[in-house]
Homo-oligomer: A and B are copies of this chain.
Amino acid sequence: MNELERLTADVLHFRDERDWKQFHNPKDVALSLLLEAGEVLEIFQWKDAAGVAETAQARKDDLADELADVLCYTLLMAHDLGIDLSAALAAKLRKNALKYPVDKARGSSSKYTGL
């Protein structure tokens, strides 16, 4: 069992103990994933560059907490939909490598449509 599979098993165990699978249709899981991503972002609300750097240190534990929630729902959704996240990420990087070839994208924050 690799690390992602082990973590997925942990969150499934947590969910099954509480009989929460019944609430976890993919739309509601996606909605919760989004709200958790919002809690990550909220930590940086109104911060300028200096404030962001300071906050990243000062609230590292809160950020770890919220990122864990994001990962939790990502793992659950992938499991429920039968998606292999490692394969999906590898495929996405290959696709993005075509959209953002190194020689054109290097050092640019433009969207691929503007390269």
Contacts and interface: CB of A to CB of B under 8 A. Distances in A.
Interface of A: 2-5, 7, 10-11, 14, 17-20, 22-23, 25-28, 30-38, 40-47, 49, 52-53, 55-56, 60, 63-65, 67-72, 74, 77-78, 81-93, 95-97, 100, 102, 105-107, 109
Interface residues of chain A: helix, strand, loop or mixed (majority) = helix
19 contacts: A3-B86, A11-B93, A14-B96, A14-B97, A17-B102, A18-B100, A26-B55, A27-B44, A33-B41, A34-B40, A37-B37, A38-B38, A60-B82, A64-B83, A64-B87, A67-B78, A68-B85, A68-B88, A71-B88
A109 B27 contact: no
